[in-house]
Structure 1
Amino acid sequence: MFDYIIHPDSQSKLIKITESYYLFEDQSKLPVFNSTPILFSYESIFDEADIVNSKTTTQNSAHLDKTNLKNYIRRQLLPALNKDFNMNKRYEDLSKSLPLKSKMLIIGVGEKSAYYRKMFPNCDIVTSDVHNQFKPDYIFDGHFIPFASDCFDIVLAAQVIEHTINPWKFCKELQRVTKVGGVLQIEAPQNFPYHAEPYDFFRFTYTGMRSLFPKCDVLKTEITEGSASMVAVAVSNYFVNLSSKKIVRSSFLFLTRLLFGWLKYLDKLRTSLNRRTVSMPIGYAFTFKKDEINRRPKELLNEFYSLKK
């Protein structure tokens, strides 16, 4: 992908790579740290110092440490309060629909690099994030994507848009780097507790998500975790946050996981997307196709009425 890399501010093409920096046509440089390029815009809320100092931003890798007893109990022994039951099938079906050697950009890959490579074995995958905790291919801010326009066959951003301070600009960038006829796989919450604070900014209704991609057709939409999961998460969150004391919070977490972990299975009873089920799910998965047709806001809103009552 070196031929497609551009400076996120000047849009100058990349002309040279060294162990310590990327050099662009306008003679500007961006750093490489521990073998990972840091391609932040000057306007980004993130910067090189965040990476060098390992600042915790949108993710904290410590939560995945299974040698920590608390993490082990929470992640391995206690039932989860919500689950995206269709995620594997959604990605498998999407992967089968793509041409061989499709160029794929993953925004906010987190710890899932190996998972995505397994789900999309026939794609040439480029991973990215705003931190270096899990060694993505590139570090950059999705508001300023350092790639030329129309260079990816598919762009995936799962549970990322809520962490963007300007989702309109972010989604415009996602569409810019996607080829005409290419696919955008976008997943985001409508109802979920404040997390990764303070880097958590928005929630998205069905029509809100649709409005962010006006030059795309909707190929498929589905609820990722439904209303029953939302109830379980909300009730647990209420009790856990009644106190600031760790022992009280941990006790409520343990208790509510045991009491309400079963609720998520009720979502399997109502998996179809209609005007009732879009009321209070945790979130959605949208599969868009970039067609460059300029849809007016009213046209986008009218698509809601195609949903069954």
Structure 2
Amino acid sequence: MQLRVSPAAPPRALSDSLVCPRCRAPLIGRETGLACTAPQCGRVYPIVDGTPILIHDENSVFAVADFTARRGGEGAGPETIKLRGEAPARGLKAALRRAAERAIYFSVNASDWSSEKSVDYVARALPEARILVTGAGDKRYPDLPNVRYVYTDVILGQGADHVCDLHDLPFADATFDAVIAVAVLEHVADPYRCVAEIARVLKPGGYVYSVTPFMQQVHMGRYDFTRFTFLGHRRLFRHFTEIKAGMALGPAGALAWSFEYFVLSFFRGRRARKYARAAAKVATLPLKYLDRVLAKREGSLDAAGGVYFFGTKAEQPISDRDLLKFYRGLDVVYED
């Protein structure tokens, strides 16, 4: 499939808040794309099928060229950067496969909070809210009269308003009232820098909701870098005041995930791994429901599959000494 570079097409959600991801100077529309207004920079960013590609090549594992032409080998490649317009599988076989996937490829939600609740909280707190959704994929939030969403991703083809890297967001300071980052920060090379970028684009008192894995194996292959304990995740957001924080995926879900990857370790072929994964998913279906019990047990965070944080941008960070007060597990006692 040939990508269509269409610089004349107006990008979705384009506004005065867009800046160059390299130097943060304002961007203006030109026939060749979106151009940086700083003479010493002068970079031009292409627009592919109406979506601006706002990548700082020198600071990213991705490159603008990954989105303007199909390439193999280097870069993200077509296996990760999906191309707009690729038709989904159709027919009875495809429908049955999707139904089977929904039946076995799921997690039991035992968390007391979610990104949807965060959006609702922000909508209730502010008369008008602009919310940035990073790593959005095909996720969409309910249309609310006082909320405007801006969806971003490093994937072209799932309706992102802008393709950009969280390390260098192409938005001016204090642009957003809230930022959503669900299962994003484990896939960035420098999560601390990315959280600093989140804080930069948030208005004073702005909100952030983040979910990251803790007890999970590698997923997305080479694009998986980091895991956080509950306290490690809290320190990542030390410049924020906590509203809610806790378990996003429980110990049973983590155990099911671990068993699945244990089984996969025995297989190499793509087809064999596909069926082995499905078998492991089926075998652990009942196990996942234990999370509804474990979610209420003290110490479950020590073995959680993932954790979340929801809070507001603070003027002063919490100290590492104060950070220890946030521990909510049951420390193991070793006896002689």
**TM-score bucket of the superposed structures, by smaller chain:** 0.7 to 0.9
Match of 1:209 in 2: 233
Match of 1:161 in 2: 185
Answer whether contact 1:81 1:262 (CA < 8 A) is retained.
no
Q: Which moved more, 1:95-104 or 1:155-164?
A: 95-104
Aligned equivalents of 2:235, 2:177: Cα separation in 1: 22
Match of 1:34 in 2: 49
2:211 aligned partner, one-letter code: E
How far apart are 1:30 and its partner, in Å? 1.6
What SS does structure 1 have at the residue aligned with 2:217? coil
Match of 1:183 in 2: 207
Aligned residues: 301
Percentage identity across paired residues of the two chains: 24
Pairwise mapping of residues 23-172 of structure 1 onto structure 2 (< 5 A)?
23-27=35-39, 28=42, 29-42=44-57, 43-54=59-70, 55-56=77-78, 58=80, 65=89, 69=94, 71-72=97-98, 74-76=100-102, 78-80=103-105, 82-86=107-111, 91-92=116-117, 94-98=119-123, 99-112=126-139, 115-116=140-141, 118=142, 122-172=146-196
Aligned equivalents of 1:66, 1:166: Cα separation in 2: 39
Match of 1:239 in 2: 263
Cα 1:66–1:236 change in 2 (3 A) is farther
Q: Structure 2 unaligned runs (5+)?
A: 1-13, 71-76, 331-336
Q: Which moved more, 1:51-60 or 1:29-38?
A: 51-60
Answer whether contact 2:245 2:309 (CA < 8 A) is retained.
yes
Answer whether contact 1:58 1:163 (CA < 8 A) is retained.
no
Cα 1:232–1:90 change in 2 (3 A) is same
Q: Structure 1 unaligned runs (5+)?
A: none
CA RMSD of aligned residues (A): 2.7
Aligned equivalents of 2:200, 2:324: Cα separation in 1: 23
Q: Which has the higher contact order (CA 8 A, sep 6+)?
A: 1
Q: Which moved more, 1:83-92 or 1:31-40?
A: 83-92
Answer whether contact 1:127 1:136 (CA < 8 A) is retained.
yes
How far apart are 1:22 and its partner, in Å? 0.8
What SS does structure 1 have at the residue aligned with 2:302? coil
Instruction: Select the structure that is richer in helix.
Output: 1
Aligned equivalents of 2:203, 2:156: Cα separation in 1: 28
Cα displacement string for residues 258-301 of structure 1 (whole angstroms, at most 9, x for unaligned residues): 22111111101122474x11111110111021012132222223
Aligned equivalents of 2:297, 2:29: Cα separation in 1: 48
Aligned equivalents of 1:221, 1:191: Cα separation in 2: 17
Cα displacement string for residues 141-173 of structure 1 (whole angstroms, at most 9, x for unaligned residues): 000011111111000000000000011111111
